[in-house]
Structure 1
Amino acid sequence: MLKGNKVGLRARHDEDIPILRAELYDDVVNSARAESGPWRPITPGAKDPRLVVDDTEQRSVPFSVVELDGGTLVGTATLWGIDMHNRCAHIGLGLLPSCRGKGYGTDVVAVLCHYGFVVRGLHRLQIETLADNAAMLRSAERNGFVREGVLRRSSWVMGEFLDEVLLGLLVEDWKPVTAG
């Protein structure tokens, strides 16, 4: 397990899947804001590629996020679009609704940065998020990410186009936070 100050990132367990599906992916609005495609229902027990881990996949590393105190599942985190030639990847995360606003997002981003830069030897990490996602913007910027641009009206979300913010962090600009 990779540990931050408040959360740990661990392998996905089978018992995580129903919770993540019910609290993150069955929520139409949340899913529409987090995914790059339209929401669609997934049959219970189906192999949902957003949740079921393919350990042979090399371009994406999904984690379950748990509280360090007690081990309660609080969400998902992913290093995706891993490009080992250019040594870059994207960061994504989703916290369960009851776990938002507690500083977990900032800690998840910090742990993913450690994983990307130290464990994987990447040079650049990138985050794309909706312009109105203040929590993700704050979590990224607290970890040193810089706003590099706005993709105007690039995301179709629940009947309207929304702006997306592009943030980047280079390894030489990263200031690791040690777990306390």
Structure 2
Amino acid sequence: MRRFRVEPGLIGLDWNGFGDAGGVDRRFAENGCLSPEASNLIVEVEGIAVGTVQHREMIFSGRGPFQEIGIVLLPEFRGRGIGWRAQALLCAYLFQHWPIQRIQAGTHPENVAEQKSLVKAGFQREGTIRAAEFRAGEWRDGLLYSRLRTDPTPEI
């Protein structure tokens, strides 16, 4: 997780400048990177840490709590089917242990691989969020996907 904060090319389109790499250690010492508000989990394949998934609580209008998830994999592990499975497993976990109806995820219009991964993980595209993110010196659109508790669960 430290590397994603300090190596510009590692995180891909989500890179938005250098972050506090020590913050990862402080957060781990404080709560193991697990809390009701936000958690980070390591994605591991055959004993190798290949990335991280995150979830955080969000609220619509003060009465509609939901979880927002994200994922980042090391470049050499992308395109192997790891990402969609990790996101589907995270959703299964959240629906089992959190009283939520909705999980959402955002991605970039140019990240076609993540769009396919989200659909494979059971998400549906909801639409475009215009000028949602400041990246690489300009405001850029984002795409919003969601999965509801009542949506079909993908076979993992």
- TM-score (normalizing by structure 2): 0.82
Larger RCO, structures 1/2 (Cα 8 Å, 6+ apart)? 1
Alignment partners' CA distance in 1, 2:110 and 2:153: 26
2:36–2:57 Cα contact (<8 Å) kept: no
Listed one character per residue, the Cα deviations across residues 74-128 of structure 1 (whole Å, up to 9, x for unaligned) are: 0001111255953411011110111111111110111011011112232110001
Q: 1:53 to 1:140 in 2, by over 3 A?
A: farther
Q: 1:48 to 1:155 in 2, by over 3 A?
A: same
* Identity value in percent: 26
Partner of 2:120: 142
Partner of 2:24: 48
Matches within 5 A, 1:25-174: 25-31=5-11, 33-34=13-14, 38-42=16-20, 46-48=22-24, 52=28, 54-55=30-31, 57-67=35-45, 70-81=46-57, 86-174=64-152
Partner of 1:21: 2
Q: 1:89 to 1:41 in 2, by over 3 A?
A: closer
SS at match of 1:57: coil
Q: 1:115 to 1:153 in 2, by over 3 A?
A: same
SS at match of 2:106: strand
SS at match of 2:130: strand
SS at match of 1:48: helix
Structure 1 residue 25 displacement after superposition: 2.2
2:53–2:72 Cα contact (<8 Å) kept: yes
SS at match of 1:28: coil
RMSD in angstroms over aligned alpha carbons?
2.6
Structure 1, gaps ≥5 residues long: 1-19
SS at match of 2:94: helix
Alignment partners' CA distance in 1, 2:19 and 2:39: 24
Structure 1 residue 47 displacement after superposition: 2.8
Alignment partners' CA distance in 1, 2:125 and 2:19: 34
- TM-score (normalizing by structure 1): 0.72
Q: 1:143 to 1:77 in 2, by over 3 A?
A: same
Aligned length: 152
Structure 2, gaps ≥5 residues long: none
